[in-house]
Amino acid sequence: MDKKQLLINSLAKIMVGHQPQINHLVEKYPQAAITIKNDGSPVTELDLLLSAYIESLMEEHFPQVTFYSEENYSDWKFPLLALDPLDGTREYIEGRDEWAISLGLFENDSFDGEGWVYNPKTGECFDDSKVINFHKKPVYRGEVSRSEFKNGLFEGKDSSRFSISPVGSIAYKLGRLSGNKCDFVVSLRPKNIWDIAGGTLLSKKAGMKFYSQGKEVTKVQKIYEAPLIWCHEEIFSELSEVYP
């Protein structure tokens, strides 16, 4: 089976078909044991169980594709599956329903492919983005990191044209963006590819663009430096002045 044949398989269809099993794992671990990784970030038993389960699915359906997960990464080659099994671990630990599973499938290093984002707690599944036509508005609604907002990164960045609300996981925010539940997403801290792969692919299919440090992103890489903005290109210039 060649690469193109592999990528014909519907990632979303496979994952939607296994949502009941994923839900079962989540229900089984409403709280899970926490350990601290070398970089100081927390990881829970549920992170590891979801990562192992989804990796086994990907090995079954996409055996020739490199698996690149936050909890299991080594090789970096294409075609590539980028997974964050629980994006928003702190939200999960603190009992907020603002976390999600993010999966993105890339045939090569062009930022094109198939994305899937799922929030098991709310039941929201983002897997089939439709183009969201741009409409001028007096005020555009955006979503930003809850921790970045709490830590004051958005202080002094007020604008009468843009309103922001703090929401947890970046994957969840990008899924919501692709579902037309907000107009833009901004992050003022770097992000790994596994954090943003699924949601960025979905939002791009919905007509949005992804910008890192003021430039449109067209290539897949391991880390993207801030500021990071996802939006319709028609409002990027104004947004980049507020969040330079």
Question: Which pair of structure tokens corresponds to residue 172?
Answer: 């969840």
Average pLDDT over residues 94-114: 95
pLDDT over 80 (residue 18)? yes
Residues 64-81: tens digit of each pLDDT: 899 999 888 878 999 999
Q: Compute CA distances 115 → 93, 100, 172, whole Å.
A: 25, 13, 12
What is the predicted pLDDT for the residue at 175? 97
What is the predicted pLDDT for the residue at 38? 77
pLDDT over 90 (residue 196)? yes
Determine which helix (DSSP H) or strand (DSSP E) holds 162, and give its type and residue range.
Answer: strand 162-167
Model confidence at 1, pLDDT cuts 50, 70, 90, reads very low
Give residue limits of the domains in the chain: 3-126, 140-242
- Overall fold of domain 3-126: Fructose-1,6-Bisphosphatase; Chain A, domain 1 (3.30.540)
Bridge partners of 166, per DSSP, are 144
Model confidence at 9, pLDDT cuts 50, 70, 90, reads low
pLDDT over 60 (residue 4)? no
- Overall fold of domain 140-242: D-Maltodextrin-Binding Protein; domain 2 (3.40.190)
pLDDT over 80 (residue 3)? no
Helices and strands per DSSP (H, E), number in the chain:
9, 15
pLDDT over 50 (residue 5)? no
What is the predicted pLDDT for the residue at 75? 87
Model confidence at 30, pLDDT cuts 50, 70, 90, reads confident
Determine which helix (DSSP H) or strand (DSSP E) holds 195, and give its type and residue range.
Answer: helix 193-205
pLDDT over 90 (residue 31)? no
pLDDT over 50 (residue 183)? yes
